[in-house]
Chain A
Amino acid sequence: MSQTQQQIQEQVDGLVYKLKRRQLAGSYKVAIETAQLLMRLITMARWKNTDQLIELIRDAGRQLIAAQPREFASGNIVRRVLSLIRDESLEMDREKPDIDKNTAMMSSMFSLLSTTDTKNQQQHSPSDAKQRTQDLRSLVIQGIRDLMDEISAVHENIELMSIDLIHDNEVLLTPTPNSQTVLNFLLKARQKRKFTVLVTECFPNHTEDAHKFVKKLADAKIDTVLIPDSTVFAVMSRVGKVIIGARSVFVNGGCVSTSGVAAVTECAKEHRTPVFTVAGLYKLSPTYPFDNDSLIEVGNSGKVIDYSDQDLVGRCEVTNPLMDYIDPENIDIYITNVGGFSPNFIYRIVLDNYKSDDVNL
């Protein structure tokens, strides 16, 4: 077993180092890679019962989260897979004839309330057990494949709603030009509607992305205006809707997005302008955003003050937070690939896709 354990550890380490070195950045890539890693782990690992498998995945998940604590996508995927495993395992148990109905019902109630330790250990004969693990393995791997498909298809589902939400001759504002989801959303809407988009330039972290974003929109024949971040309040009175992309969505309905977006949403609230957030389901995290520090990544101070500026370097404190936390009160609708929801309903979606046991890995 130790040899496989070593192999497993190596696989996990590979992804962990990539995360630590930030060679892998962006929720989409991280999610896909995590899913692939978990698939490999499940193929390689040997386990006797479900609990061992769950423990294995949890361990890997802990390491991945510790590698980049502010990248929630990896944790989300791990939790989705865990929930998948538990579901499949339960399904299989239900199908087995030698379990009486009472235990079946009790185990489903139990699974809501109990922790893994007190879970009922099913007794099976060795050959059955082997068969069971085989089945479980293939089911889970299939499930992960479905999950990966879902992640790749996120944009298509979100785009479908775009036409219903935007009307002609509208002025939209988007303060997150680094979001691929928002870009696809707007491009799809353009097919049926004509509108103007104001794009903030997100200086200093995403200005290049903003320029590329503007170019792409312009190529699709959308009237685009590039505005500096400070101009947001000035133009807000003429903006019809604000569309933002999120990096991560939390169970209370708040989200984490690019820095500067919090001020924009507050501004929108003041002017009673609706705010949409577009995010794929894989960005939804069952954790609660208690502590601001643990959510916000602080980036390179060299982007705020040039390192060659000798008057200021070392004499002024400089900080460059990369993200902002946005209150649920400032958001009107979340648009995900499973539909649109208001922020107070997000907890329900979380319950559908994750198990409460897995929230603390």
Chain B
Amino acid sequence: MPPKNKKQKEIVQDERLQAIILTDSYQTRFEPVSSQSPRCLLPLANVPLIEYTLEFLANSGVDEVYVMCRSHASQIQDYLEKSKWSQRNSPFKIQTVLSLESRSVGDAMRDLDNRGLITGDFVLISGDVVTNMSLEPVLKTHRQRRSQDKDHMLTMVLMEASPYHRSRSNTEPATFMVDRATGKCLYYEQIGGAKKAVSIDPELLVGVDEFEIRNDLVDCHVDICAPQVPLIFQENFDYQELRNDFVRGILASDILQKTVYAHITNQYAARVESWSTYHAISQDIMERWTYPVAPESNVIDGTSYIHMGEHIYKENDVILAQTSKLQRCVVIGGGSFVGAETNIVCSCVGKNVRIGEGVQLKNSYIWDDVILENGVEATGAVVASGAIIRAGARLLPGAIVGFNEEVPAGAEVAASESEMPQLEVSEYAAHDDGLFDLSDTSITSLPGTGSRRKGRTLSTTSYYSEYDSDADGLRDEDDFDKEAMATVTRSMENNHDLDTALLELNTLRMSMNVSYHELRLATTKALLARIEHFVATQTLPLTEATNKIFRKWGLLFRRQVFETEEQIDLLNVLQEQCLALENRSDGASILMRALYILYDEDIVEEDQIYAWWDAPESNASEELIEVKAPTGKWVQWLREAEEESD
């Protein structure tokens, strides 16, 4: 044991520092790769992720480590047994804990409580943290606080970055409110992309002199917890998430009076929780933001990386053709061969990789034992072990090639949203920020496998469905669209009361926080779809169908249109949707009839009709004009009628 630990022992009554590593994040962001290999063993700069965490713990003077495993637990166990951490001269005692029934962090904590492994303050960390910071000062302040304040539960370690930083998670960005003088955390909220403001209860600010609201922190999920933490999880059975449930729960609860502190460090600490953070952190390691954690430390026995100018790391048995170029930020593992005229920049190449001639690699990660044939181009792609990429293939940003897959010659692999069957689906995985090279969706679509229908499989791991509510606006609208249309269609089919339908629609609108424009759009679409349905099934001819539908259900618009501009908007929407129908002439006649009915029912007024007619939007394209044409006569009549009446 390192001597400094003995000092800690004297101060803190023989407490051995324990650490819990959560190797499963209970998410599925790393599909399809994580279906065959546990997440924490995926290589980052050719070193398995868990090694980074273990090295960090070794540096921090931890005495006992418990690795909580769920998926692929046997692989993790095997790996750890063979590694240097299980040898006699390992700085700590390591043990794997199989927690196969747990479905979330909360379950893991409850399991931990049941096994009674915790004896004192412990470090709770996830198995994919990359950091170069020293935990000593954080431990010291944590212990000091604990000795003064028995209710101190948790110290979170956060790294300062900036809001749009590449290492900042774009899947769980969060805001923290921190008391400046003491570091106490007062408020925590996860913010989705659309949310721009948080509302804070003024009672939280009692007794606080200065506070900071920070949106620029990277949450590296390194926490120092008091021994009571698993107990709290046990008591609150519905706590699943650490941050979203536990921290929020503690901060919000007045009764418990527990405190959480945030330790903000300006050293490097980040977590690999999605492909984009994987990419960002790989780049950071290569560019030496994480020194002294660097490939040339050779933490894995038997590796021999050396660091050369322009941030190139290669082992000593790498064969490079003379005309090949390693431009900058490249890691190449031993036994690899790089062919002529190949350019590699900002990429990681594993061991025993054969790269052919004329290959262009940029921002890509090639794992062990891969063959890239001549002329392959990969940008922002990940190729897992054992894969073969045939000549001339192109891997576009976000592409992921799974273990032992083969990409045929000349194929193009792009990031796509199709999911594999019988695996848990993350609705959230469909999110693509567009700011980074790698998108989060990156689930491969291998040509020839075809895409499966998007289905929502009922799985027990769908806790993250709570993210839906805070997902970004784009998805809201899609969802809302479908929901609203479904509602209207349902109402029409089941012949609901108009008021009921209106109530449903409004509630839906408010819950999803969309504007009336969307509502109008959805309603219009639903009505037109219904008309088409009638026509297609030959229940009613077009004219009668239009009349019927619009006479009854057009009244929905009454509660959706309030201002004059909205009326014009409605007309525009109607025009566009009629245009979008398959049968153009149908659309035109529907437009005419619908317009008449709306006018008749006083939903739109003449002035607005004229305004819409003359406005440039409605005449923007030939098709629009075409679709308006039959209505023209009627509008003309209307104008004349008005003049007559004037």
Interface-located stretch among A106-114, A123-131, A137-145, A301-309: A301-309
In the complex, what residue of chain B is closest to A11 when comparing beta carbons?
Answer: B89
Q: Is A317 within 8 A of B328, CB to CB?
A: yes
> B172 interface residue, CB < 8 Å from A?
no
Q: Is B288 within 8 A of A310, CB to CB?
A: no
Which residues of A279-321 have CB atoms within 8 Å of chain B's CB atoms? 293-294, 298-302, 306-310, 313-314, 317-320
Contact residue among B132, B160, B290, B297 (Cβ-Cβ distance under 8 Å from A308): B160
In the complex, what residue of chain B is closest to A317 when comparing beta carbons?
Answer: B328
> A26 interface residue, CB < 8 Å from B?
no
Cβ contacts under 8 Å, B306 to chain A: 69, 294
Q: A20-B297, A301-B287, A320-B288 in contact; A313/B165 too (CB < 8 A)?
A: yes
Q: Is A23 within 8 A of B89, CB to CB?
A: no
Q: A307-B289, A308-B165 in contact; A302/B267 too (CB < 8 A)?
A: yes
Q: Is B298 within 8 A of A299, CB to CB?
A: no
Cβ contacts under 8 Å, A301 to chain B: 287-289, 291
> B150 interface residue, CB < 8 Å from A?
no
The residue among B163, B287, B299 with the most chain A CB atoms within 10 A of its own CB is: B287
In the complex, what residue of chain A is closest to B168 when comparing beta carbons?
Answer: A310
Q: A10-B87, A13-B89, A299-B288 in contact; A66/B298 too (CB < 8 A)?
A: yes
Contact residue among B58, B309, B311 (Cβ-Cβ distance under 8 Å from A21): B58
Cβ contacts under 8 Å, A299 to chain B: 288, 291-292
B interface size (C-beta, 8 A): 39
A interface size (C-beta, 8 A): 30
Docked pose: A319 CA to B299 CA in angstroms: 22
Cβ contacts under 8 Å, B161 to chain A: 307-308, 310
> A48 interface residue, CB < 8 Å from B?
no
Docked pose: A95 CA to B465 CA in angstroms: 85
Cβ contacts under 8 Å, A14 to chain B: 89
Q: Is A306 within 8 A of B266, CB to CB?
A: yes
Cβ contacts under 8 Å, B216 to chain A: 308
Contact residue among B59, B266, B297 (Cβ-Cβ distance under 8 Å from A307): B266
Q: Is A298 within 8 A of B288, CB to CB?
A: yes
> A212 interface residue, CB < 8 Å from B?
no
Q: A21-B292, A307-B160, A308-B161 in contact; A66/B304 too (CB < 8 A)?
A: yes
Contact residue among B84, B159, B164, B291 (Cβ-Cβ distance under 8 Å from A300): B291
Q: Is A319 within 8 A of B162, CB to CB?
A: no
In the complex, what residue of chain B is closest to A320 when comparing beta carbons?
Answer: B288
Q: A21-B297, A293-B308 in contact; A300/B289 too (CB < 8 A)?
A: yes
Q: Is B288 within 8 A of A309, CB to CB?
A: no
Which residues of A16-66 have CB atoms within 8 Å of chain B's CB atoms? 17, 20-23, 66
Q: Is A318 within 8 A of B297, CB to CB?
A: no
Q: Is B292 within 8 A of A310, CB to CB?
A: no
> B447 interface residue, CB < 8 Å from A?
no
Docked pose: A279 CA to B342 CA in angstroms: 46
In the complex, what residue of chain B is closest to A309 when comparing beta carbons?
Answer: B162
Contact residue among B87, B268, B283 (Cβ-Cβ distance under 8 Å from A302): B268
In the complex, what residue of chain A is closest to B166 when comparing beta carbons?
Answer: A314
Cβ contacts under 8 Å, B291 to chain A: 298-302, 320
**Can you pick out 5 interface pairs between chain A and chain B where the beta carbons lie within 8 Å of each other?**
A66-B298, A307-B161, A308-B160, A308-B161, A310-B161
Q: Given A298-B307, A310-B164, list of 11 further CB < 8 A pairs?
A: A10-B88, A13-B89, A20-B298, A67-B298, A298-B291, A299-B291, A302-B291, A306-B266, A307-B160, A309-B162, A313-B165
Could you list which residues of chain A lie within 8 angstroms of chain B, going by C-beta atoms?
Answer: 10-11, 13-14, 17, 20-23, 66-67, 69, 293-294, 298-302, 306-310, 313-314, 317-320
Q: Which 9 A-B pairs have the closest CB atoms?
A: A300-B291, A310-B162, A22-B292, A10-B89, A301-B288, A308-B162, A308-B160, A14-B89, A302-B289
